[in-house]
Chain A
Amino acid sequence: MDFSNRYFRWLALVLRIALGGIFIYAAWAKLRDPWELYALAINSYEVLPLWAVELVARTLPWLELLIGVGLIAGIGLRIWSFAVSLMLAVFFALMVRAFAKGMQISCGCFGGTGDIISKWTLLRDGSMLAGSLLLTWMAFARKRQAGPPASAVPDPAPDRIPV
């Protein structure tokens, strides 16, 4: 697939801005409230000890903000797109686990008192994960397609003249 064509460049731009915007909004929604509310949402998943819950609640929103800004800036896209995919994959796996266990808990996606995990929240986060994976694939594939610098590519042999 040729990821350097105009259609894919626009798609990548839309994905970058959408995911970046969502991550910046998610970070803001968490940072505007006391960290304890986001910690409560993380704690309700019952996967981390309380000391780790506090650490994640205090640091993750800043990481989301950094990733969001990185995606929108578009510099070092391979790093940011990989980071966003990894983060969304972890979030999605935890949400699927909680849903499968029948836990009626807030997803914590946009702060402490967000939506209760449901098919809708899974669809929303699943779509975001699909978008981020596509963006990551495009970022890495475009880099490969760009290939080595022009000076490193040998000239075609001039003596190969079809007879």
Chain B
Amino acid sequence: MKSYAVALVALLPCLAASLGEVDKAKMIGNPGAPVRIELFSDFQCPGCKAFHETLLPVIIRDYVVPGKAYIFNHEFPLPMHPYSREAANLATAAATIGKYQQVADVLFLNQTSWGATGKVWDTVASVLNPAEQKKVQALAKDPAILAQVQQDVDAGKAQNVPQTPTIVVSRGTKRYAFPGPDQGNYVLLRSLIDGLLK
């Protein structure tokens, strides 16, 4: 029992380092920026694909590049999508080797295909070399990675995330959920973020 406890204590820094890497890889921009934009997204949701491919680059251009905000990606796999949890686990595992964005890009790009066939791993593997594939495949079953994904889901539920994608913008104690951001309502999101920056 004692040796188990010692081993657990010895392992904790490794786990913490690994989860710290996950956080870093899931972040876009400088965490010292005044506004934090949290994105709750599901790899199998069509609205999230549209957001990832059209609006996310605009937000990065307008707020992340000038250092006004940074983005943090949260997994929010919806129960109605049979493969989204697997995709979230694999993407989070890929985050530990710094490949989160590449995996997210390829998952959204080929969403229709793997969403129909269930071949999530084949899609993820296409952007990894053989050594990375081995590592990610093993990590995707790691309880720490599964717990990390569940932690994202729990964070979304705690913040009453009603749908995906949902953005939560915050600065200090001010925190606002903005569900369903798209190009049609970007002017409102921009006004909200600009209000926080004042």
Chain A residues near B (Cβ < 8 Å):
33-34, 36-37, 39-40, 43-44, 50, 104-106, 112-113, 116
Cross-chain contact B179 with A50 (CB below 8 angstroms): no
Q: Which of A36, A50, A105 has the most CB of B within 10 A?
A: A36
| Tally of chain B residues near chain A (CB < 8 A) | 16
Q: B163 on the interface (CB 8 Å rule)?
A: yes
Cross-chain contact B163 with A36 (CB below 8 angstroms): no
Cross-chain contact A34 with B160 (CB below 8 angstroms): no
Interface 1/0s, chain B 144-184, versus A by CB < 8 A? 00000000000000001011000000000000111110001
Cross-chain contact B195 with A40 (CB below 8 angstroms): no
Q: B60 on the interface (CB 8 Å rule)?
A: no
Q: B191 on the interface (CB 8 Å rule)?
A: yes
Contact of B179 among A34, A39, A106 (CB under 8 A): A106
Cross-chain contact B176 with A43 (CB below 8 angstroms): no
Which residues does chain A contribute within 8 Å of B163, judged by CB atoms? 104, 116
Q: B12 on the interface (CB 8 Å rule)?
A: no
Q: Given contacts A37-B176, A37-B192, A113-B177, are A43 and B162 in contact (CB under 8 A)? A: no
Cross-chain contact A36 with B162 (CB below 8 angstroms): no
Q: B188 on the interface (CB 8 Å rule)?
A: yes
Kindly state the separation between the CA atoms of A50 and B160 in the bound complex, as whole angstroms: 26
Kindly state the separation between the CA atoms of A100 and B179 in the bound complex, as whole angstroms: 21
Cross-chain contact A44 with B180 (CB below 8 angstroms): yes
Q: Which residue of A lies closest to B161 (CB)?
A: A113
Q: Given contacts A33-B176, A37-B178, A43-B184, are A106 and B162 in contact (CB under 8 A)? A: yes
Interface 1/0s, chain B 31-63, versus A by CB < 8 A? 000000000000000000000000000000000
Contact of B162 among A33, A37, A39, A113 (CB under 8 A): A113
Which residues does chain A contribute within 8 Å of B184, judged by CB atoms? 43
